[in-house]
Amino acid sequence: MFGRKAFIMGNGTVTENSYKKATVIGNAEIFGGNIKNLTNIGNSTISGELEADKINSIGNLCASENIRADIIKSVGESRFNKLFVKNLIVWGKVNKKSSTLNGEISVNTFEVMGHCKVKCNLEAENIFVSSLLCMEQELQCENVECIGSIEAPSINAGYIYIYPRATSKLNELYASEVIIKRTLKDCLKIRKHHSTWRHKLRRFKKENSIINIEIVEADKIYLENTRAKLVSGKNVIIGPGCIIETVEYIDSLSIIG
Amino acid sequence: MMDNLLSKKELLKLTGISYGQLYRWKREKLIPEEWFEKKSSFTGQETYFPKDKIFKRIEIIQKLKDTHSLEELAHFLSPELTDRLFQFEDIKKIIELNDCVLEMFAAGRGKQTFTYVDVVFMYAVSILKSEAHISEKVLSEIIKSICSYSEMIKGTNYYLKVIKLEIVSNTAYMEKAYTMVYQTQAQLFLDPHFKELRTFYLDELSNELKLKYDRGIF
């Protein structure tokens, strides 16, 4: 049952079935089913419910029904209906354009290794950004670690780590713990568990710029190179390079020059 | 107005909860985003909460969070914000919902499952049916109208206005009903041909239901 393979070069359809591997180079309509490994280079329309282990897409992927997958690697425009995926990786650029994500996406780990615009409801556990993530709505998740830039109206998360860059556009940060720090050494909680990070960290660009944020509210706060209007927290440490209008603290405040 | 509002700072101090907890509960839809009211204050911008609602909500969350998952609590406390579905058989147990209205909603929806917002709308229409004299035809129009948009409404901070249009001419009499749902407490001026039948505030109806059935269906 799982030995079946489909290969389409040009235009074609992939009928609803169980496949070990399905490859599309061109344009195809995929009628759903069960595909272990799906590769799309071009335009694929998925018009039925699909369960996959791995989906690799370069180009446009459009799904009108639910998709469940373990890993999805995508560059280009993806339009989902309802997507449940463990690991979603967006990388690279197609025709110098950002990748875009549309639809209702429920993901465990979302890695943004290329420019990505999220125009939809995103439910995520962990989000790693090494390139650029643009959100139209508030970014909500358990852990965010960004060594690139994030553009979002606000972030509401459990743990937030951001490398301070002027290119990030954030208004409000709400979390249990917020760390904005110019070193990666002891603040990336999750990095050890993801091998892709080691690759990205080797090409990491250091910068000495200031990140602008309006409001930072969390229980534990450590800030460097941050300009903010209001910082409110339980235990607050203001590190070097910060320009803060108002700091409110409940338990402790340290200012490190 | 400020008497029933509580600042975020005061809330954290009085309840002993942390920023992390407050924002996690907001993220998990246990505390509706609408309750976070931003107002300018002496120190700049401050967030305020409706005092009675927020205390009660935090009390319930703290009591139940060790025995229920946050998702379960969200379904229970803010069903209007989740996509929780209610079955026809369970809804029938709510005596405030008129059976005829319920049947018409099921027919208008084309299915036997309803969202929480559907239930609140059904309550409103049931009240309308018992208070005003409306024919079956007009009632079905009202329900069809509501069914066309109720799935898009994710919350109860809305007003439902039901209006009637009567056209009397020498040869015919026509009566049609229309509904509209809007958010702010704006005063709407209607063309004099329309007569307002009733305006409901969904949040009020929702609270009545939740209060009565908090141990049962919700």
Q: What is the pLDDT of residue A230?
A: 95
pTM equals: 0.81
Kindly give the confidence (pLDDT) of every residue in chain A, 257 residues in length, as a single tens digit, with 9 standing for 90 and above: 557 899 999 999 999 989 999 999 999 999 989 999 999 999 999 999 999 999 999 999 999 999 999 999 999 999 999 999 999 999 887 778 889 999 999 999 999 988 999 998 899 999 999 889 999 999 999 999 999 999 999 999 999 999 999 999 999 999 999 999 998 776 666 555 555 666 666 667 888 999 999 999 999 999 999 999 999 999 999 999 999 999 999 999 999 97
- Cβ distance of A174 and B18 shorter than 8 Å: no
> At B175, which amino acid appears?
E
Q: What is the pLDDT of residue A154?
A: 96
Q: How far is B187 from chain A (nearest CA, A)?
A: 30
Instruction: Tokens for B131, please give them.
Output: 């208070």
- Cβ distance of A230 and B12 shorter than 8 Å: no
How long a stretch of residues is chain A?
Answer: 257
Cβ neighbours around B153 below 10 Å, total: 20
Burial B1-24 (b: 16+ CB within 10 A, else e): eeeebbbbeebbeebebbbbbbbb
- Cβ distance of B27 and A177 shorter than 8 Å: no
How long a stretch of residues is chain B?
Answer: 218
- Cβ distance of B44 and A230 shorter than 8 Å: yes
Q: Residue A175: its chain B contacts at CB < 8 A?
A: 19-20, 23
Q: What is the pLDDT of residue B188?
A: 82
CA distance A58 to A46: 15
Do residues A157 and A172 lie in contact, with contact meaning Cβ atoms separated by under 8 Å? no
Going by C-beta distance under 8 Å and a sequence separation of 6 or more, which residues neighbour residue B145? B177, B178, B179
Q: Residue A236: its chain B contacts at CB < 8 A?
A: none
Instruction: Quote the ipTM score.
Output: 0.87
Selecting from A157, A219, A229 the residue whose C-beta is nearest the C-beta of B18 gives A219
Testing the interface with A: which of B10, B19, B38, B71 to mutate, by most A Cβ within 10 A? Answer: B19
CA distance A98 to A100: 6
CA distance B95 to A205: 65
Strand order in the sheet with B194-201: B173-182, B159-168, B194-201
- Cβ distance of A176 and B20 shorter than 8 Å: yes
- Cβ distance of A234 and B27 shorter than 8 Å: no
Chain A residue with CA closest to B18: the answer is: A219
- Cβ distance of B12 and A250 shorter than 8 Å: yes
Q: What is the pLDDT of residue A95?
A: 77
CA distance A40 to A129: 24
Q: Residue B24: its chain A contacts at CB < 8 A?
A: 158, 176
B85-87 and B113-115: which strand pairing? antiparallel
Residue B66: burial class (beta carbons within 10 Å; 0-12, 13-18, 19+): exposed
Among chain A, residues having any CB pair with chain B shorter than 8 Å are 140, 156-158, 174-177, 215, 217-219, 229-230, 232-234, 246, 248, 250
Q: Which residues pair with A243 in a beta bridge?
A: A227
Q: Residue A250: its chain B contacts at CB < 8 A?
A: 12
Among chain B, residues having any CB pair with chain A shorter than 8 Å are 9, 12, 18-20, 23-24, 26-27, 43-45
Q: How far is B171 from chain A (nearest CA, A)?
A: 50
- Cβ distance of B19 and A248 shorter than 8 Å: no
Cβ neighbours around B28 below 10 Å, total: 19
Going by C-beta distance under 8 Å and a sequence separation of 6 or more, which residues neighbour residue B144? B108
CA distance A41 to A28: 10
Report CA dihedral (A75, A77, A80, A83) to the nearest 10 degrees.
20
Do residues A89 and A70 lie in contact, with contact meaning Cβ atoms separated by under 8 Å? no
Q: How far is B218 from chain A (nearest CA, A)?
A: 24
CA distance A237 to A247: 10
Q: What is the pLDDT of residue A189?
A: 61
- Cβ distance of B23 and A175 shorter than 8 Å: yes
Q: What is the pLDDT of residue B39?
A: 87
